[in-house]
Amino acid sequence: MQTIVQTVARTLAEEMRRDDRVVVMGEDVGKRGGVFLATEGLFDQFGPDRVMDTPLSEAAIIGAAVGMAVHGLRPVAEIQFADYIFPGFDQLVSQAAKLRYRSGGIFHAPMVVRMPAGGGVKGGHHHSQNPESHFIHTPGLKVVYPSTPTDIKGLLKTAIRDEDPVIFMEPKRLYRAIKEDVPEDIEFTIPLGQAKVLRQGTDLVLISYGGSMAETSKAAEELAKQQISAELIDLRSLMPWDKETVLKSVARLGRVVLVSESPHTLNFMSEVSATICEEILDSLLAPPIRVTGFDTPYPYAQDREYLPGPNRILRAVQKVLEY
Amino acid sequence: MIADTQNFKPFNPDPIAVLSQSGDWIAPFALTLDDETLKTIYKHMLAARLLDERFIKLQRSGKMSFVAPHSGHEAPQVAAAHAISKGTDWLFPYYRDYAMTLALGQSVLEILAQTTGSRLDTAKARQMPMHPGSKTLNIFTGASAIASHIPPAVGTAISMKIRETGQAVLTSFGDGATSEGDFHAAINYAGAKGAPIVFLCENNRLAISVDFNKQTGSETIAIKAKAYGMPGYLVDGMDVLACYYVLKECVENARAGLGPSLVEAQVMRFGAHSSADDDTVYRSKEELELMRQRDPILRMRRFLEKQGLWSDKAEEKFIKETQLAFQTALDTLAEAEKVPLEWMFDDVYAELLPHLAQQKKEFLG
């Protein structure tokens, strides 16, 4: 049994043992093992050349990772909080994301940028954000946001072995909230762009990803008690995303609620909703409804209320069922 | 300022020069380059000047959308190419560096294919002109965002260091770039790591129209090196041999594990910032006239002539050959087919992701 954050450290260690090109870099990732302990034990096992404490500069971390990747390493950079990606954002957008395209494929940057993201930890607006839409809107980046230890293992391995820059978002309020047995196989991987149907249902579809999977699962359990059968999907991967699985379930049941804690406008679920409407409008029995964070900076005092919790999800379910 | 060997002292207040304006050797150490190399350095500068003039003609005739002229910057650019080990060391240039990549060995065809957006461009005509890149020559294909190539340059240098490959990186940029956060983030990291990298600032004292004294309160760029824990050298950027000796020493120090250096080459931008700029608005003809008297190509030519290595006849012959090479390349490009529409969708990722496959299919019908 292991938590998400333990799984991150163990998976990194496995990949570093498998491939000596894999290096870990970031603030406090060395002896300290990361402020969340996501790199715990790596420094002792692999030493300072492969587990590198960097200056406090996200631009330097991401930019240097690009240069290392171009030179043949497989850097896994940690950004201490997703909220601090912005000083390094230009390096992601102008360098990492566009290198393959602008060079006609002669250079590319196989690298992973890991970052704890999401609210519910009393962190205020600079320790709670979910900036995935920025990344998804940047062609050249792949984006994953798993929610369980097993998916963390399978997707982190795939991300490290991928030939493109992958943004690996980790739901930090679930870091130690879930414990499960994780496959021991060092070759256990999960392809990017593959959603997981966690629960088969007959009345409606609930779709979410990342930290919000916890509240969405709770809502599904609550519905089961009320004899309402929800099909539950964890997207896991946002770029690419698994359109087929989503469309299949939604076409079958005709009703869908989309849950994601990032701000409402241009939330990734807006894209999912638009795709559903464009491609399978005729099968819909109700308009897709998004349950999201609000279009405000992430608040401090209303830390829990901002999140799309089970009650808000249940209200949306009622709406699509009664439509 | 200059020691009696070729070991230069950092933080020199006056720019290091080894050639006088009239082309005399004024350094306290002996010239070590052989005649062929000296001639090659000159030829590279001259070819680069001719290339710049050709760029402008091509832009005016609509064959290039944009030019950032490098005339006046040839000395540090050609010197940098000669200071590094071709195909072993890595170059992270900026957008005004075609003299550098030409001198490193990029073919005229490859350069013109990029600048004219041809199907023959190795980068598949994905970027506007003035963005060199080469896999075989280890020239990192840059982005337009100023200074954004410097953090990756440092990353490559760190990779060289931790894997002990014995290579070095040279990255170049203008004075404006030193105001960007990326410059600070990168050079600071390089200093902390002792990475094998040479930072070359081609300081023409103009960021488009903004004067150097509005760019920074610092007297020079070179002096900033002190705060980053590395030597800084101020060099006469119109003296190609001074640029060469200083850069060579810095590259060798980097390879020897002595860490990074910052070189500021004081150059003069003879042209406007770009083909989209009118520099007559912010500087006078007289100013330009004075600059041109310090032309780096003339200084090197005077030196070569005094050594009996160059003549009017050699000059005429070389210009003719170079123009012919340009024409041959342009003829080849004229025969190339159009850039395929479907290239728009390739190389976003290693594989064509499903959503892009769908967009490509719908678009191409």
* pLDDT at B1 exceeding the cut of 80: no
Q: Which residue has the tokens 């810095």?
A: B250
Per DSSP, the three-state class of A119 is: coil
CA angle A277, A279, A284 (to 5 degrees): 50
Domain presence at residue A185: no
Q: What is the rounded distance in angstroms from the CA atom of residue A7 to the CA atom of residue A151?
A: 10
- What is the token pair recorded at A171? 């739901």
Looking at the fold, whether A235 and A134 belong to one and the same domain comes out as no
Q: What is the rounded distance in angstroms from the CA atom of residue A276 to the CA atom of residue A190?
A: 25
Residue A278 sits at the chain B interface (C-beta within 8 Å): no
* pLDDT at B4 exceeding the cut of 70: no
Mean pLDDT, chain B, as a whole number? Answer: 96
Q: What Cα–Cα distance (Å) separates residue A319 from each residue in A201, A209, A255, A288?
A: 18, 21, 10, 10
CB B266 within 8 A of CB B235: yes
Looking at the fold, whether A158 and A202 belong to one and the same domain comes out as no
Specify the pLDDT at position B337: 97
Ramachandran region, residue B55 (left: φ > 0; alpha: ψ -120 to 50; beta: rest): alpha
- What is the token pair recorded at A66? 């690009």
Check if B70 is active-site: no
Contact list, A57 vs chain B (CB under 8 Å) = 185, 188-189
Once rounded to an integer, what is the mean pLDDT over residues B175-200? 98
Which residues 195-234 of A have a C-beta within 8 angstroms of B? none
Q: What is the rounded distance in angstroms from the CA atom of residue A58 to the CA atom of residue A55?
A: 8
Specify the pLDDT at position B6: 60
Q: Kindly list the structural domains of chain B, giving each domain's residue range(s) and its CATH number in brackets, ordered by start.
A: 35-364 (3.40.50.970)
Nearest CA in chain A to B136: A106
Domain presence at residue A146: yes
CB A78 within 8 A of CB A25: yes
State phi, psi for A23 to the nearest 5 degrees: -125, 150
Q: What is the rounded distance in angstroms from the CA atom of residue A58 to the CA atom of residue B41?
A: 40
Looking at the fold, whether A146 and A227 belong to one and the same domain comes out as no
Q: What Cα–Cα distance (Å) separates residue B201 from each residue in A288, B234, B240?
A: 55, 10, 15
Nearest CA in chain A to B165: A71
CA angle B25, B50, B47 (to 5 degrees): 55
Of B121, B159, B189, the CB nearest to A54: B189
Contact list, A139 vs chain B (CB under 8 Å) = 348
Q: What is the rounded distance in angstroms from the CA atom of residue B108 to the CA atom of residue A216?
A: 60
- What is the token pair recorded at A156? 């982190």
Once rounded to an integer, what is the mean pLDDT over residues A121-144? 97
Domain presence at residue A156: yes
Domain presence at residue A182: no
State phi, psi for A18 to the nearest 5 degrees: -70, -40
What pLDDT digit, counting tens, does each position of A215-226 carry? Answer: 999 999 999 999
- What is the token pair recorded at B92? 């992270």
Of B127, B151, B158, the CB nearest to A91: B151
What pLDDT digit, counting tens, does each position of A85-99 carry? Answer: 999 999 999 999 999
Once rounded to an integer, what is the mean pLDDT over residues A252-276? 98
Of B133, B157, B192, the CB nearest to A106: B133
Q: Is the CB of B157 less than 8 angstroms away from the CB of A87?
A: no
**Alpha helix (H) residue ranges in A162-255:** 212-225, 243-253
Position with higher pLDDT, B4 vs B306: B306
Looking at the fold, whether A163 and A267 belong to one and the same domain comes out as no
Specify the number of domains making up chain A: 2
Q: What Cα–Cα distance (Å) separates residue A196 from each residue in A153, A278, B74, B197?
A: 15, 23, 58, 46
Q: Considering the candidates A126, A127, A134, A264, report the single residue annotated as catalytic.
A: A127
Mean pLDDT, chain A, as a whole number? Answer: 98
Residue A299 sits at the chain B interface (C-beta within 8 Å): no
Looking at the fold, whether A130 and A228 belong to one and the same domain comes out as no
Nearest CA in chain A to B128: A102
Domain presence at residue A191: no
Closest chain A C-alpha to B124 CA, distance in angstroms: 5
* pLDDT at B84 exceeding the cut of 70: yes
Nearest CA in chain A to B89: A71
Closest chain B C-alpha to A196 CA, distance in angstroms: 18
CB B315 within 8 A of CB B36: no
Looking at the fold, whether A78 and A226 belong to one and the same domain comes out as no
Q: What Cα–Cα distance (Å) separates residue A138 from each residue in A134, B228, B342?
A: 7, 33, 20
Closest chain B C-alpha to A96 CA, distance in angstroms: 9
Contact list, B348 vs chain A (CB under 8 Å) = 100-101, 139-140
CB B84 within 8 A of CB B251: yes
Of A109, A143, A174, which residue sits at a domain end?
A174
Which residues 43-72 of A have a C-beta within 8 angstroms of B? 49-50, 52, 54-55, 57, 59-60, 62-72
Looking at the fold, whether A161 and A304 belong to one and the same domain comes out as no
Residue A26 sits at the chain B interface (C-beta within 8 Å): no
Task: List the domain range (segments joined by +) for residue A9.
Answer: 4-174
Looking at the fold, whether A94 and A46 belong to one and the same domain comes out as yes
The residues pairing with A112 across neighbouring beta strands, listed in sequence order, are: A76, A166
Domain presence at residue A186: no
Contact list, B140 vs chain A (CB under 8 Å) = 67, 70, 107
Domain presence at residue A181: no
Q: Is the CB of B90 less than 8 angstroms away from the CB of A71?
A: yes
Q: What is the rounded distance in angstroms from the CA atom of residue B223 to the CA atom of residue B234?
A: 8
Q: What Cα–Cα distance (Å) separates residue A220 from each residue in A177, A197, A216, A236?
A: 18, 13, 6, 18
Nearest CA in chain A to B121: A104
Domain presence at residue A124: yes
Q: Is the CB of A63 less than 8 angstroms away from the CB of B348?
A: no
Nearest CA in chain A to B132: A103
Contact list, B163 vs chain A (CB under 8 Å) = 73
Looking at the fold, whether A134 and A200 belong to one and the same domain comes out as no
Looking at the fold, whether A170 and A26 belong to one and the same domain comes out as yes
- Is residue B2 very low, low, confident or very high in pLDDT (cuts 50, 70, 90)? very low
Specify the pLDDT at position B354: 97
Dihedral of CA atoms A116, A121, A122, A124 in degrees, nearest 10, equals 20
Nearest Cα to A4, choosing from A120, A177, A131?
Answer: A177
Residue A8 sits in a domain whose CATH number is 3.40.50.970
Closest chain A C-alpha to B352 CA, distance in angstroms: 10
Check if B269 is active-site: yes
Of B160, B189, B347, the CB nearest to A60: B189
Contact list, A62 vs chain B (CB under 8 Å) = 151
Of B124, B157, B353, the CB nearest to A104: B124
Amino acid at A138: T
Residue A250 sits in a domain whose CATH number is 3.40.50.920
Number of inter-chain CB pairs under 8 A, A vs B: 146
Of A143, A174, A205, which residue sits at a domain end?
A174
Nearest Cα to A170, choosing from A1, A64, A286, A12?
Answer: A12
What pLDDT digit, counting tens, does each position of B149-168 carry? Answer: 999 999 999 999 999 999 99
Looking at the fold, whether A164 and A203 belong to one and the same domain comes out as no
How much of chain B exceeds pLDDT 70, in percent?
98
Q: What Cα–Cα distance (Å) separates residue B43 from each residue in A124, B74, B200, B232?
A: 62, 11, 22, 29
Q: What is the rounded distance in angstroms from the CA atom of residue B92 to the CA atom of residue B125?
A: 19
Residues in chain A: 323
Looking at the fold, whether A30 and A149 belong to one and the same domain comes out as yes
